[in-house]
Structure 1
Amino acid sequence: MTDYDYDDLGLVAGLEIHQQLDTATKLFCRCPTTERDPDDSTRSFTRSLHPTRSELGELDDAAVEESRVDREFEYLAYDTTCLVEEDEEPPHRLDTDAREVALQIADLLDMEPVDQAHVMRKLVIDGSNTSGFQRTALVAQDGAIETSAGPVGVEDLLLEEESAQRVEERDDGVTYSLDRLGVPLVEIGTRPDIDSPEQAREAAETIGMLLRSTGSVKRGLGTIRQDVNVSIAEGARVEIKGVQALDDIDDIVRREVGRQVGLLSIREALAARDAGVGDTQDVSEVFADTDSGVIGGALADGGSVTAVPLYGFDGLVGREIQPDRRLGTELSDHAKRNGAGGIFHTDELPAYGVTDAEVAALREAVDAGEEDAVAIVAAETETAELAIEAAADRAETAIEGVPEETRGANDDGTTRYLRPLPGAARMYPETDVPPVELDPSDVETPELLTEKVDRYHSEFDLEAGLAEQVAYGRRMRLFERAVGAGIDATFAAGLLESTLTELRRDGVAVGELADNHLLGVMRLVDDDELAKEGVEEVLSTIASDPDLTPAAAVEEAGLSGVSESDVRDAVSDVVDRNADQVESQGMGAFSALMGEAMGALRGKADGEIVSDVLREEIQKRA
């Protein structure tokens, strides 16, 4: 990956962090916030959405582009789905618990809460909300975090409802699940104070640590998303949506810088050639007898092949601007947004069944010369016309340089076009929810995770690495409940971080183990009703049947406690079977016999007790 001089390029970046809150109920109704399996859906309904004008009569560009694709949205509902989620009933008041967590986060970010939270509607017509908009409220402003490269300002903190979960996308529509819709979410926007990929990642890590310090945010894939705003001096602001992993942020920034540098280089080449974009036209006749499966299939279905001449673009449409992504990929992204499968262009033809003769005929049909390129779309006629116009528009912006836009993050660190940047026309007041007075005076500042690590190390004598694992782990609150109930801290930490990890690696369904299961098993060990050596088997038993109580799982696993006399009898049998080894090795036989003795007792007895009895029995015979 190219290493750029980011100061010289004038890199400016900012973050938008979206984090789900772990509250019992949703933001505007009392439905639970638990994730559901789409297979558990009890019914579904459909909606079609269209853009509406703002209070000033304006239409948002992003919403207009989204509406060009005619799609129907299906929503999977559950036994917990209510009329608010279906947009058949007005939203209720802002959830109190969500407000308190948001104010805690504002305190950690050194932000100033607003006096009143006013709920606004944000126009969203991609189907991710049944109402066609997302509700959001400003909670606090003007904060800051520290990074090793200097402070990064935090501009605003908003409390909003999460969108519905996308389950399936089809040519004619999208299926969403309503279990996620309405889950409380905070959006944290930094100022554009970030000037390197490394600082972007560090800022995101710092904010993530502060969020988890509340103990009231959801954990797991999809519960936190990072959007990154990136621009360079001669480029443009680009918002990159949906960065799932912190580890990807610095690569995303680097590759977006590289994309903008590449587009600026293409702009210079196009300017030198006095490039332009011609009129779109139907070129179906050129491919009447084609052997191309894609083109021939579209024509056989009654579709068309549309083309646009790109004057001066020869060799530039195929130029790479990100790994495995070219200017032609950018044109293709815009065509796809209008329903086409993509584009072909002459920088990559002949290929895909298109012959040299067809390429020559195509160039002649659109009056393209040697320095020119041609892009084509093969699809249903209306789709082909819309798609080639979209590709032509994107080619026009290539002449100008880098377009402002919203892009989506790909798994490999590259990005793809999503839609234009949204404007102010997408936001207007929510009249169904009254303003809420915010009182931060009763908000308790949470202990930072970094402080927890130090406390776990000093107070509970946990090894530093284990203390960090527990503090930053998903079950931190359970650990604190356990030690608060008198459970040995080292045992609790080892069970939650080491034992569960080992069981997961062995294929045990650890996700089925609820907090009450784990705490119950810890209490059985603490009450000497279960040996530590039997913990893994009991947890495995519960994972296979989560309806079992920990005590019932001990019985099911055959690990009910044994008396000391039973332990002595079992150990004596082991020593008797190995009498020759004991006679010849004495205590040197201890390690081998200890393993055999524990196996004979199958985790029913504590290892320390077994160890003491075994030493006695060996000494008697030695």
Structure 2
Amino acid sequence: MEKADLKRLGFRCGIEIHQQLEGRKLFCSCPTTLRDDEPQFTVKRRLRAVVGETGKVDIAAREETEKGKYYVYEGYYDTNCLVELDEMPPNPINSEAFSTALQVCKMLKGDFVDGAQVMRKTVVDGSNTSGFQRTALIARNGILETSEGKIRIPTIIIEEDACRPIKNEKDHVVFRLDRLGIPLMEIATEPDIISPEHCKETAEKLGMLLRSTGKAKRGIGTIRQDVNVSIKEGNRVEIKGAQDLKSIPTLIENEIKRQVNLVDIYKELHKRRVKKFDNKAVDLSKLLKNSGAKLITKTLQAGNTVMGIKLNGFAGLIGRETLPKKRLGTEFSERAKVIAGVGGIIHSDELPAYGITDREVDILRKELLCKEQDGFAIVADEKERCLKALVAVNERANQAIDGVPMEVRKANPDNTTSYERQMPGAARMYPETDIPPIKITKKMISSIKLPELITDKAPRYEKMGLGKDLAILTAKSPKAVLFEKLVVKHKKIKAAYIAEIVMTADKIVKRQFKIDINPTEEDYELLFDELSADKISKENVLDILKENKPVSAVIEKYHMMSDKELEAELKKIVSANKGLQFNALIGEAMKKLRGKAAGKKISEMLRKMAS
């Protein structure tokens, strides 16, 4: 999409980066490891929205409460505690995570607050056992330099991550406690981003800056991007969960197209002079009791209901595309699914279909009192769910009359989006009463050391002899500190070899031997100590690691032979291979003594014997 088109549309864009940090959890000492083994206990809860500091109930929290769902939390006795279950007050904030947050603020040249006040942010979608997320503002007014100019950073925050969703059922959601409380840095930008590609660059630079601390977690789900997009005639839409940086431009372009198409629908509705309406759901079960539609028949046979609602002035617009394979009717359906837990809706622009005939469509239009320009929606489920779903459809239709609704949407794998919830407001914030404000003194700020940026570190590693790709991989890795320590200690071993082993040995062992290994720092240190002292050979390094045991437990059996032992073995080989050419003899010796002696030494000893 050209910059001129974006300017004409009044494109505005900002981004929020959420990065998990290594170490212990933010308000307890539990580990931050995600587990896939069978949980050891479950807890069931219901959460309800309450008024925030402003005296109002947050709109998004109210919407979640109205769903009527309950929540199940899975946990482990050895890695979860009462803080995560909200059965005891939080511990003081994790000092290591807080120090990292201060470091990030300084890197972005932010203005530190005098005291970090931990706040409770109301969240009743079940992702927090307490019904709120603890969050603390650390600094304001930061700056990020990009190729398109400066990006303003209004807030830099540290907060706790939410529970991990496992399963979403009609009446409940299952969460796991392992992710709850992981320290999370949140960096938000002003809408200074001027294009979809610029948004990708901004996300990359913020991610690089966070990884430069050496404290950022790595892997899928450890960093999440939320993108805010609007156009002049549209509205601010927050897209949550953009995982892949490469997909961000397409995701934004699709949201621009969506808003343009919704604006066109809004203009058509105004041409038709459609006013907002509050239509009541009508029970259509008796009219459709003999229908050939499988969905209808199955619902009625289960003792459930089919209900419908008139959508004034929407004929021909419900089926209007907002994106390829997405229509306004899709947005009505998404809203009904999220609010009421139904499987979806059927609307008049797609009928006759699904076994519903032309004659049945005419009967439905008559029953719902539809005029020529009116559309309708029907839903088949339990009566209460049907009523909730159609109220949600009515509300979304009224929003279409106003244009583009301000809302939170989730990113889909195909780079489109789906409705998630209403946009929350200030009503969801109130102070945390169990944690006093944390003073940020001038002494604390002056003591913060800025890390070397990855963009500076990688070229330095290239000068040390690493190839470009290996240099970038090493610079981005949390193991870069270990690499540098080993390079300083073992000057006779090439830096490139140390980097290759430390950064890629686990992948090589997995690929060649189908074994998952996770060597510790102590393992690598002992490995290179022995290699540096000529006690083991390079040929044995992967063999030692693939044992998948502490290096100290297996290293001795890979020790190289003494000169005396080597000479004795070579004599045996010569004796057993009399008449063999010298080169063939070397080949035989190398094959039998691989990893037990240096190749150069084997060759020299054999020459002496031959002469």
- Where do 1:476-515 residues align within 5 Å? 476-486=480-490, 488=493, 489-506=495-512, 508-510=514-516, 512-515=518-521
Greater mean alpha carbon deviation, residues 482-491 or residues 234-243: 482-491
Q: What is the distance in 1 between the residues matched to 2:381 and 2:560?
A: 72
Distance 1:612 1:240 in 2: 68
Give the number of equivalent residue pairs.
602
- Matched to 1:419, the amino acid is R
1:101-151 Cα shifts (integer Å, max 9, x gaps): 101000111111111111111000011111100111110111111111111
1:600 matched to 2:602? The reply is no
What SS is found at the alignment partner of 2:349? coil
- Aligned pair 1:451/2:449, yes or no? no
Partner of 1:61: 59
Counterparts of 1:67 and 1:154, CA distance in 2: 33
Deviation at 1:385, TM superposition (A): 0.6
Q: 1:314 to 1:494 in 2, by over 3 A?
A: same
- Residues 572 and 96 of structure 1, relative CA distance in 2, 3 Å threshold: same
1:85-484 alignment, distance < 5 Å? 85-275=84-274, 278-337=279-338, 338-438=340-440, 439-458=444-463, 460-484=464-488
Provide closer, same or farther for how the CA distance between residues 228 and 511 of structure 1 changes in structure 2, counting only shifts above 3 A. Answer: farther
- 8 Å contact from structure 1 (residues 21, 184) kept in 2: yes
Change (3 A) 1:101 1:286: same
Distance 2:304 2:297 in 1: 9
Structure 1 Cα separation of the partners of residues 260 and 537 of structure 2: 63
Q: Does 1:8 align with 2:20?
A: no
Q: AA paired with 1:527? A: A
1:475 & 1:4 partners in 2: Cα distance?
44
Displacement of 1:437 in angstroms is 0.7
Q: Residue 506 of structure 2 contacts residue 518 of structure 2 at CA under 8 Å; is this kept in 1?
A: no
After the TM superposition, which segments of 4 or more aligned residues of structure 1 sit over 6 Å from their partners? 1-4, 568-581
Counterpart check, 1:48 vs 2:46? yes
| Structure 1 SS opposite 2:286 | helix
The aligned amino acid for 2:551 is P
Structure 1: gaps (5+ residues): 543-547
CA distance in 2, matches of 1:603, 1:51: 67
SS for the counterpart of 1:267 is helix
Kindly indicate whether residue 9 of structure 2 is the aligned counterpart of residue 17 of structure 1: no
Output the CA distance in 1 between the equivalents of 2:160 and 2:287: 51
Distance 1:573 1:349, change over 3 A: farther
Shift of 1:299: 1.7
The answer to whether residue 500 in structure 2 is matched with residue 517 in structure 1 is no
Cα RMSD (Å):
2.7
For residues 2 and 367 of structure 2, the distance between their equivalents in structure 1, rounded to whole angstroms, comes to 40
Letter in 2 for 1:531: S
Pair 1:319–1:570, CA change in 2 (3 A): farther
- Deviation, 1:308, is 1.9
For 1:427, the aligned partner's letter is M
The one-letter code of the counterpart of 1:172 is D
Residue 15 of structure 1 aligns to which amino acid in structure 2?
I
The 1:519/1:391 distance shift into structure 2, 3 A limit, reads farther
User: How many angstroms does 1:454 deviate by?
Assistant: 2.5
Structure 1 stretch 179-188 or stretch 462-471: which is displaced more? 462-471
* Range moving further from structure 2, 257-266 or 230-239: 257-266
Q: Distance in 2 between matches of 1:473 and 1:461?
A: 17
Distance in 1 (CA, whole Å) between partners of 2:368 and 2:568 is: 95
Look up the equivalent residue of 1:539 and give its one-letter code. L
Kindly provide the CA deviation profile for residues 456-484 of structure 1, in whole angstroms up to 9, marking residues without a partner as x: 233x3323332112101342233233224
Contact 1:311 1:371 in 2 (8 A): yes
Q: So what's the TM-score if we normalise by structure 2?
A: 0.91
Compared with structure 1, are the counterparts of its residues 304 and 582 closer, same or farther at alpha carbon in structure 2 (3 Å cutoff)? same
> What is the deviation of 1:371?
4.1
- Contact preservation (8 Å) 2:164, 2:178: yes
Query: 1:545 maps to what in 2?
Result: none
Question: What do the CA deviations read for 1:168-226 (whole angstroms, capped 9, x no partner)?
Answer: 22222122221221111111111110010011000010011110111111111111111
With normalisation by structure 1, the TM-score equals 0.90
Q: Which amino acid aligns with 1:322?
A: L
Q: Which range is displaced more, 116-125 or 492-501?
A: 492-501
Question: Structure 2 unaligned runs (5+)?
Answer: none
8 A contact 1:301–1:380 mirrored in 2? no
Distance 1:515 1:323 in 2: 51
Q: Which amino acid aligns with 1:107?
A: K
| Residues 602, 48 of structure 1: alpha-carbon distance in 2 compared, 3 angstrom cutoff | farther
- 1 CA distance for matches of 2:544 and 2:303? 64
Report the AA paired with residue 541 of structure 1: E
Task: Pick which of 481-490 and 102-111 moved more.
Answer: 481-490
